[in-house]
Structure 1
Amino acid sequence: MDSKAELQFEYLPFIRTYKSGLVERLCGTDIIPATTDPAAGVVSKDVIIDSDTGITARLFLPTSARHLRNKLPIVVYYHGGGFCIGSPYCPPYHFFVSSLVARANVIAVSVDYRLAPEHPLPIAYDDSLRALQWVASHAKGGHEEWLANLADFEHLFLAGDSAGANIAHRMAVRAGEAGLKHGVRIKGMAFLHPFFWGTQPVGLETRDAGVRAGIEGLWQLVCAGRMGIDDECVNPMADGVAGMVGVACERVLVCVAELDELRERGKSYCEGLTKSGWGGEVDLLESVGEEHVFYMFRPECKKALELMERLVAFFSRD
């Protein structure tokens, strides 16, 4: 076989890499433009956060926002895709975040961080923090009017699915270590089917060697082998629950799916927060009979509507 076409790593149905350096993304590459959707009552636009690195975001705003007396909560959203596929501009994420904005009456900033393996971790974390600090910088005014004029920085939330939930966790840890601009604090975090893992199975987690090798291989791909599978970035409780105390927010909602291989890690995260003495409020929602990120592809099914209802309630509380 021609060495230029020799397969290096494959994680279906997401990505293939070749020894030649070629990266083949098998999904998550479609893009739709920002738009005004009168039916949904949401307008979106794309912004450049850092032209040097190419960090961008898609902002979503309820069309009613300019006529409201009160400012709106902010949700900074980090998309999933195993750190290697997806963007705020692909249809599933655009429509999911738009629906969330319409139903929860929030402003959303959906972050486009650079993807591995071309940009291995911790680049996605660094980009995501840069975007979060950019959002926080508008607490005292700024050039992005939706944030400077319409956003309530007393109610800043982080959210994400799968790898994006992993990123949101890391942002809360980094915010606890160094703070955010203008003293902005994170009110809460919503994790949807978070991507955490580790060497030793937890709870009812699969013992299947092939499944575990695939997940661990993906992690090694996206971090270029720089971090083990028990690194705190992928296994927050590798050293016990003590590290969970540093999660800088007041409340956390973790959503898991019964048929998701990552389910037990999400449940373990909740237990770790509770046992650590963290002091905030943690809640768990399990979608029975459902698989990983099912709500992205069947947004009108009963369990997806239930999940959306919980998210709306989470972001709407004072």
Structure 2
Amino acid sequence: MASTAANAAASADDSQEIEADVPGFFRIYKDGRLVRFIGTDKLPAALDPATGVDSKDITIDPTTGVSVRLYLPPVAAGQKLPVLVYFHGGAFFLESSASPAYHRHLNSLSALTPLIGVSVDYRLAPEHPLPAAYEDSWASLRWVFSLPDPWLSDHADLNRVFIAGDSAGANICHHMALRARVDSAAGVILKGVALIHPYFWGSEPIGSESTDPAVRSTVEKIWQFACPNSTGPDDPRINPLAVDAANLALLGCDQLLVTVAEKDTIKHRGKAYYEKVKHSGWKGKAELVETPDSEHVFHLFNPDTDKAKELTKLLADFFNKE
């Protein structure tokens, strides 16, 4: 009886003890619970009166529930447009394709380029730990190339398929670009990849990253919570610069854009990634753009600023490459 009471007390303590905390975003408790403070609001797919872009949601795999939100700008009969497959950010824990910031961003990109947008609603950790998000994202790419929907079959130019993502979504892009080359039989052929403020990490601090062991431990706990079978901060899934990571010369695309923000603590990871790609023997064309005096994913939180509009235009121009 005493043992049962002690176990119950320990469980109660675990349920209240915080394992890792990202103020204003999410909190992880010792018992494995995650509380989300943002990223749960959703907007319905609909015709956007400001841009004329229409959108709709499609479940692409009933067994997992994975869906995509398609975006179609005003288009003439028979007109072919580039395709953007977008992976949202949120540390693998937050947000969705229906989040207001992402819905607004895809409407803008679809109208400005113009392009067909495919925003992927991959499964989130901790309910669905990695590699679920990677597998869902790959399934979405394969789905696009099968042209299963009239918006795609009538208007998609499969010679101009781009992928992009911010933060964790940029991490996903890196792995999708590698897989496109390694699993070439799948028929996923990418014109370009845009990594926006990519979420990468490693055991050794670089640049202006914090050297505080407590800060680094928190970041690493968060990653381990998203990917329980990870080998740690130098797992190639979070550190593409690790010794045993894939050769970046294997990126399966012709064009690469890496964007970073001056005040983002992980900006040096994006810069180091860009430099390693350039010196890897990869045959494509790479570009690095840093936005001064800006924070991580500033363009999503403050889309009406001049800097956000400049970044959105930069992306639209990149997705319009022949």
Task: Give how far 1:202 is off.
Answer: 2.4
Please say if 1:105 is aligned against 2:96: no
Please say if 1:77 is aligned against 2:56: no
Letter aligned with residue 208 of structure 1: D
- Provide Cα deviations, 1:256-286, integer angstroms capped at 9, x if missing partner: 0000011001111110110101111110110
Equivalent of residue 266 in structure 2, options 262, 266, 273:
262
> 8 Å contact 1:129–1:171 — kept in the other structure?
yes
5+ unaligned residues in a row in structure 2: which ranges? 1-8
Equivalent of residue 195 in structure 1, options 190, 199, 208:
199
Number of residue pairs matched by the alignment: 311
> 8 Å contact 1:241–1:275 — kept in the other structure?
no
- Provide Cα deviations, 1:15-70, integer angstroms capped at 9, x if missing partner: 223344432111100011011012212111000010110101111110x22x1553
Partner in structure 1 of residue 181 of structure 2: 176
Larger Rg: 2
Identity of aligned residues (%): 46
**Which moved further from structure 2: 112-121 or 152-161?**
112-121
Distance 2:264 2:56 in 1: 33
Distance 1:268 1:253 in 2: 13
- Provide Cα deviations, 1:161-217, integer angstroms capped at 9, x if missing partner: 000000011001111111264x34100001110001111122343323333222212
Q: Tell me the SS of whatever aligns to 1:186.
A: coil
Please say if 1:116 is aligned against 2:125: yes
Q: Tell me the SS of whatever aligns to 1:221.
A: helix
- Provide Cα deviations, 1:96-128, integer angstroms capped at 9, x if missing partner: 111111111000100011111111111111111
Distance 2:120 2:129 in 1: 17
Partner in structure 2 of residue 55 of structure 1: 66
> 8 Å contact 2:166–2:198 — kept in the other structure?
yes
Please say if 1:15 is aligned against 2:22: no
Letter aligned with residue 30 of structure 1: D
Partner in structure 1 of residue 3 of structure 2: none
Give the alignment's Cα RMSD to 1 decimal.
1.7
5+ unaligned residues in a row in structure 1: which ranges? none
Q: CA 1:240 to 1:23, structure 2 compared with 1: closer, same or farther past 3 Å?
A: closer
> 8 Å contact 2:261–2:292 — kept in the other structure?
yes
Equivalent residues in 2 for 1:131-210 (5 A)? Answer: 131-138=140-147, 142=148, 144-179=149-184, 181=186, 183-210=187-214
Equivalent of residue 221 in structure 1, options 204, 225, 236:
225
> 8 Å contact 1:189–1:249 — kept in the other structure?
yes
Letter aligned with residue 166 of structure 2: D
Letter aligned with residue 285 of structure 1: V
> 8 Å contact 1:133–1:180 — kept in the other structure?
no
Q: Tell me the SS of whatever aligns to 1:311.
A: helix
Q: CA 1:241 to 1:219, structure 2 compared with 1: closer, same or farther past 3 Å?
A: closer
Distance 2:114 2:77 in 1: 11
- Please report the TM-score for the alignment, with normalisation by the length of structure 1: 0.93
